[in-house]
């Protein structure tokens, strides 16, 4: 069945029509098409660039049934593209073959060296093994790998020379490196090593933002999960670690604003459950200082472009969400799509 959608396309803010032929958008009219969206606002499918579907508890392995449920939760919320920057195992091949599921960009399992991250929750390697493991995981996934660059403030970050060698080796093979970093040292090392994305970025020195912008390093601040953690920390007894966490989180509004103003790509990633809540993350990005259009774009067209997919254009994948009102005027609108179309099929 050929379908037609028409409405105001974002980010162009132009009224346009598309015809859906198979799983592709077409601008050339096709006769006898069924109109499934008539008016409102059209966005490229939403994107969560930091989500971990397939398991909800530390130490458990990927489960196919849980993975499918999580991805459907994403899909039904209009999240039609996800990046899994590290997981408890490699995302199985059947995910890419299932037309009912969002498109997935995987980074394989987390790569953690001794003393960093939860032991056994991902792939544990020594610092000497890290380079080869990173190249292997990038080649076995969607071109990404994920390195745990630091952990707690009283523990040293992964050495700069080690991380630099990893990034250079993965880049030489055409891959990209996401780095978990939440300490000042870890963030600095990730930027100076030339990582492609900083996951979290808490305690990032704003003086590094210009370098990030120049080399194309994106920031994924995962504000929702840290916001929840801050609420718990405020109710806890004072400790040095609690103060470290709260001071880092309280600096995030200024950091997010400064990153955007410096030209850094700031993206929406949830890093939490339930899946399908990237709209709430976009709202936090706006609340923390991103212009509303940048916050929406960070969960849609900006993120899709960063991951190598087009927005709404002739020949693009037929992955889109439609809204009754303009989400760039009210970011909360993102949570209420009136129509979700994935791979040319209406799913909501």
pLDDT of 61? 87
- Give the closest residue to 48 by CA, choosing from 280, 209, 257, 256: 280
pLDDT of 56? 85
How much of the chain, in percent, has pLDDT values that exceed 70?
100
pLDDT of 138? 97
Edge-to-edge strand list for the sheet holding 79-84: 46-48, 79-84, 103-106
pTM (predicted TM-score): 0.97
Q: In 3-state terms, what secondary structure has residue 307?
A: coil
Looking at the DSSP assignment, which residues form a beta bridge with residue 254? none
- Which tokens is 196 given? 């492609």
Fold held by 46-299: TIM Barrel (3.20.20)
How are the residues of the chain apportioned to helix, strand and coil, as percentages rounded to the nearest 5? Answer: 35, 20, 40
- Which tokens is 233 given? 């920390």
Cα 334 from Cα 102, distance rounded (Å): 17
DSSP characters over 19-71: EEETTEEESS--TT-EEEEEEEEEEEPEEESS--TT--STTPPP-HHHHHHHH
pLDDT of 59? 76
pLDDT of 169? 98
- Which tokens is 237 given? 């007894």
Cα 93 from Cα 84, distance rounded (Å): 14
Domain ranges of the chain: 3-43+312-346, 46-299
The CATH superfamily assigned to 3-43+312-346 is Urease, subunit C, domain 1 (2.30.40.10)
Mean pLDDT in runs of 10 for the chain (348 residues)?
96 97 96 97 98 88 94 98 94 95 96 92 95 98 97 96 98 98 98 98 98 98 95 92 95 97 98 96 96 98 98 98 98 97 96
What tens digit of pLDDT does each residue of 35-69 get?
Answer: 999 999 999 999 999 999 999 888 788 999 999 99
- Give the closest residue to 149 by CA, choosing from 106, 122, 184, 116: 116
Residue 158 makes CB contacts below 8 A (sequence gap 6+) with 113, 116, 127, 130, 147, 148, 149, 150, 186, 189
């Amino acid at each position: 069945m050929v379908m037609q959608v028409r409405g105001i396309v974002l980010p162009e803010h132009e009224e346009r029509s598309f015809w859906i032929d198979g799983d592709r958008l077409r601008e050339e009219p096709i006769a006898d098409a069924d109109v499934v969206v008539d008016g409102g606002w059209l966005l490229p499918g939403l994107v969560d660039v930091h989500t971990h579907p397939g398991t909800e508890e530390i130490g458990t392995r990927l489960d196919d049934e849980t993975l499918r449920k999580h991805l459907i939760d994403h899909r039904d919320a209009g999240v039609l593209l996800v990046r899994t920057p590290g997981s408890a195992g490699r995302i199985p091949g059947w995910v890419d073959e299932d037309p009912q599921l969002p498109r997935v960009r995987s980074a394989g399992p987390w790569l953690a060296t001794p003393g960093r991250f939860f032991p056994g929750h991902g792939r544990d390697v020594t610092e000497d093994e890290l380079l080869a493991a990173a190249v292997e995981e990038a080649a076995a996934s969607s071109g990404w790998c994920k390195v745990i660059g630091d952990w707690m403030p009283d523990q040293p970050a992964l050495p700069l020379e080690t991380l630099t060698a990893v990034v250079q080796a993965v880049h030489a093979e055409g891959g990209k490196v996401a780095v978990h970093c939440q300490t000042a040292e870890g963030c600095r090392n990730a930027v100076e090593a030339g990582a492609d994305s900083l996951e979290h970025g808490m305690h990032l020195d704003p003086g590094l933002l210009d370098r990030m912008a120049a080399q194309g390093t994106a920031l994924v601040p995962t504000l929702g999960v840290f916001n929840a953690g801050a609420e718990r920390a405020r109710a806890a007894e004072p400790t040095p670690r609690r103060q470290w966490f709260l001071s880092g989180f309280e600096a995030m509004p200024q950091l997010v604003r400064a990153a955007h103003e410096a030209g850094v790509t700031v993206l929406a990633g949830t890093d939490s459950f339930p899946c399908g809540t990237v709209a709430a993350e976009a709202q936090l990005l706006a609340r923390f200082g991103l212009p509303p259009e940048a916050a929406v774009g960070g969960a849609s067209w900006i993120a899709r472009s960063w991951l190598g997919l087009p927005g709404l254009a002739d020949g693009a994948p037929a992955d889109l969400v439609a809204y009754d009102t303009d989400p760039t005027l009210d970011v909360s609108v993102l949570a209420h799509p009136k129509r979700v179309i994935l791979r040319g099929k209406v799913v909501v």
